[in-house]
Structure formats: structure tokens, C-alpha cells
Amino acid sequence: MRNSPVLNSIVEAHAQEKKMYWVLLDPDDFTIEEAKNVAVKSQECGVDGLLIGGSLLHSNHFDLFTSEVKKAASVPVLLFPGDSTQLCSSADALLYLSLVSGRNPVNLIGEHVKAAPKIRSIGIEPIATAYMLVESGSVSSVEFMSNTRPLPRNKPGIAAAHALAAQYMGMHLVYLEAGSGAKISVPPEFIKAVCSYIDIPVIVGGGIRDTETAAEKLSAGADIIVTGNMLSKENGISTMKEIASAVKSFS
């Protein structure tokens, strides 16, 4: 059995009902120096982890970007890969994402087969994660690139069944995703339905830009919330600090 320190820490936090806050860094949105600065500021604000990745990368410095963020960070750095090319050994772990909300075999297993030998070679910790897209009021990058339809936001029962199937298949996490820059975030009814069906930790991202929205997701049962695009806003760092403080108040 592969050693899984990052997954173990997530599972332990879930068992203790301790909420967590992760920040997503897309290498196309930040220079390396900007990302290093965000990594330091994130830790000062109380963020629990950093994600690195994107649906479609135009930049060619993924390895260097990740290694430099890792050097600047004391919190876990996890890869959030859009495909099998977004892998490197300097991160602590990677979310081994299977897009279970869709029916495109490339995103269910195809990219995973391509990535598996490299994951084994570089020795990074893979965390099997059920990735579920939720309608968000606009077409997200991941929806377009994966050529899959998101789950209807007025059908929480469908989401719960998908999450339960993922748990039965042995996945360790469920990630409910509205998409980068989503107009509307994952509805609390969705989160409640999923959490009522499964025993594994639930991550929620997309459209979370303030403490009220973050608190709504946590109250509905989310174990981990993720923010990304708001960091490019003028008050991004201060908002991140406010959200981190709100997350701690739930623990």
C-alpha cells in the first residue's frame, strides 16, 4: 500500500469535522514570482493547501512554477491536473481526477492510463478523486475542454447517486465544481444531498468569492472549499484572509 500522508491528513480532518481552505493557482494566471508571493500570503492568511493546474495551459513553465511555489510554501501543494501532461515530482500529491459527472472516456480513464506510469516513476502521491461538474450559469473551461455536460443544478439526487457510485468504486474524495469564474456556485442543496449519501470528504469550488458564500458551502457539509479567480481582484488577499478566518470558525 502506497504511503499517503496528504490523503491521511484530509481523512483525519474529515473525521474530526475540521474544515479546510485551499487556494488554486493556475500557471496561466500568475507569473512565478506572483505565485510565490501568493503562496506566502496564503499561509499568512491561514490557508491549508495550494492547488496548481488548469483546464488548458498556454504557459510552458509548469514544472518550474510548481517547484518554486513548493519552495515558498509550508502547506501541502497538490496538483490539479487538466490532463496527463500536468505532472511533476515537486508537489506533495495530486488529485487523480476522474470526471464521473460526464461520459467522455478520455476524462474517465483515458488520461489516467497515460499518467499512471509517470506518477509511478516520479513517486508522487495520487489521491483518487471523483470530479463532478455542476451547472453554473455559463460554459466553464473544463466543460468545454472535456466535452461533457454538467450535472443539472436542480437535480441534487443525480449528484448524490454519482458521488455514492464513486465511493463504492473506491475513490477517496468528491470534488463538486462549478468551474473557474462561475457566475453561480454549487447550490447548498447539492452539497447536502451528496454529503447525506457518502462518508468520504467533499471539496467544493467555483464561484466562491466572499465569506458568506464560503460559509454557505461549509454549513451545507463541504469539508474543503477552493477559491481561485478572486486572487486576481484588487482586494483578493484581504478576502482570502476573511474566508480563511471563516473556515477556522467552523472547526
Q: Amino acid letter at 238?
A: S
What is d(CA 97, CA 111) in angstroms, rounded to the nearest whole number?
A: 9
β-pairing, 93-99 vs 173-177, is unpaired
Distances (CA, A) of 130 to 34, 49, 80, 163, 186: 30, 19, 12, 7, 15
Q: How far apart are CA 124 and CA 91, in angstroms?
A: 7
Spatial separation of the C-alpha atoms in residues 89 and 107, rounded to whole Å: 22
> What's the whole-number average pLDDT of the chain?
94
Mean of the pLDDT values across residues 237-244? 93
pLDDT at 74 over 80: yes
Whether pLDDT at 114 is above 80: yes
Residue 53 pLDDT > 60? yes
Cα distance between residue 238 and residue 53, in whole Å: 23
- Cα separation of the two ends of the chain: 30
Q: What is the mean pLDDT of residues 226-237?
A: 81
Task: Enumerate residues 6+ apart whose C-beta is below 8 A from 133.
Answer: 99, 101, 102, 140, 142, 143, 146, 148, 149, 150, 151, 177, 178, 179
**Count of structural domains within the chain:** 1
Q: What's the rounded mean pLDDT across residues 213-236? A: 90
Q: Residue 151's domain is classified under what CATH number?
A: 3.20.20.390
With cut-offs at 50, 70 and 90, classify the pLDDT of residue 198: very high
Residue that the C-alpha cell 447548498 belongs to: 188
Span 16-25, pLDDT tens digits:
999 999 999 9
pLDDT for residue 10:
98
What contacts 139, CB < 8 A, 6 or more positions away?
none
Q: Enter the pTM of the model.
A: 0.95
Longest dimension (CA), the chain: 45
- The number of CA neighbours under 13 Å toward the Cβ of 113 is 6
Query: What is the model's pLDDT at position 1?
Result: 43
Q: Please give the residue range of the domain that contains residue 184.
A: 5-249
Looking at residue 2, its pLDDT comes to: 62
Least-confidence region, from 113-122, 136-145, 171-180: 136-145
Per DSSP bridges, beta strands 173-177 and 202-205 are parallel
**Confidence class for position 60, pLDDT limits 50, 70, 90:** confident
31-69 in b/e burial notation, b at 16+ Cβ within 10 A?
ebeebbebbebbbebebbbbbbbbbebeeeebeebbbbb
